Amino acid sequence: MSHWFQQSITLAARCRGFHLITAEVVESLNDLSKIDVGLFHLFIQHTSASLTINENADPDVRVDMETAANLICPESMPFVHTCEGPDDMPAHVKASLMGASITVPIANGRLALGTWQGIYLCEHRNRGGRRRLIATYYGAGNGSSR
C-alpha cells in the first residue's frame, strides 16, 4: 500500500552558518516508519537560506562551507538590492546556488543517507529568524509503525 505524507517543520532561529539538522528533521517525521521504500523531499520556504547534504561528522566542514560560500559571494560585491542590509543580496545568491530543496531515498522506514551524510540548514543571513520547511514523503509499506 502506498502513502503520501506532508507536514510543516519550523526550525528555531540560528546564526549565520551551516547547521546540521538531520536529527531535528527526522524526529518530526511522524509517519516515516510506515514506508519501506520511497522518497523524501524537503523544501525551505525562504529565499535567503537553503538546504544541502554534506559531511555530518567533522564540524570543521560546516565552518569551511561558510568560508567557501563567503568567498564565492562576498558582501563587498556591488549589489543594487541593498535595502535589507549588506547580508541580504549575498544570501539570495547563496540560497540560489545551494538550492531550496533536497530529495533522499527512504529505505525500511529511515532516510537512506550515506554514513557521512547529513542534512544542513544553510543560514545565509546574520539574523534570518525561524525557518519553515515542508516535508513531503511518499512510499510503499505495510502501514504499520516499526
pLDDT of res. 144:
56
Kindly give the confidence (pLDDT) of every residue in the chain, 146 residues in length, as a single tens digit, with 9 standing for 90 and above: 889 999 999 999 999 999 999 999 999 999 999 999 999 999 999 999 999 999 999 999 999 999 999 999 999 999 999 999 999 999 999 999 999 999 999 999 999 999 999 999 999 999 999 999 999 999 999 755 55
Within 13 A of 47's CA, how many CA atoms are on the CB side? Answer: 6
DSSP 50-93: EEEEEE-S-HHHHHHHHHHHHHHS-TTS--S--TT-TTHHHHHH
The architecture CATH gives domain 2-140 = Sandwich (2.60)
Cα-Cα-Cα-Cα dihedral sign, residues 88, 41, 130, 72: negative
pLDDT of res. 1:
82
Calpha distance 105→66 (Å, rounded):
27
pLDDT of res. 4:
96
Calpha distance 29→42 (Å, rounded):
11
pLDDT of res. 143:
57
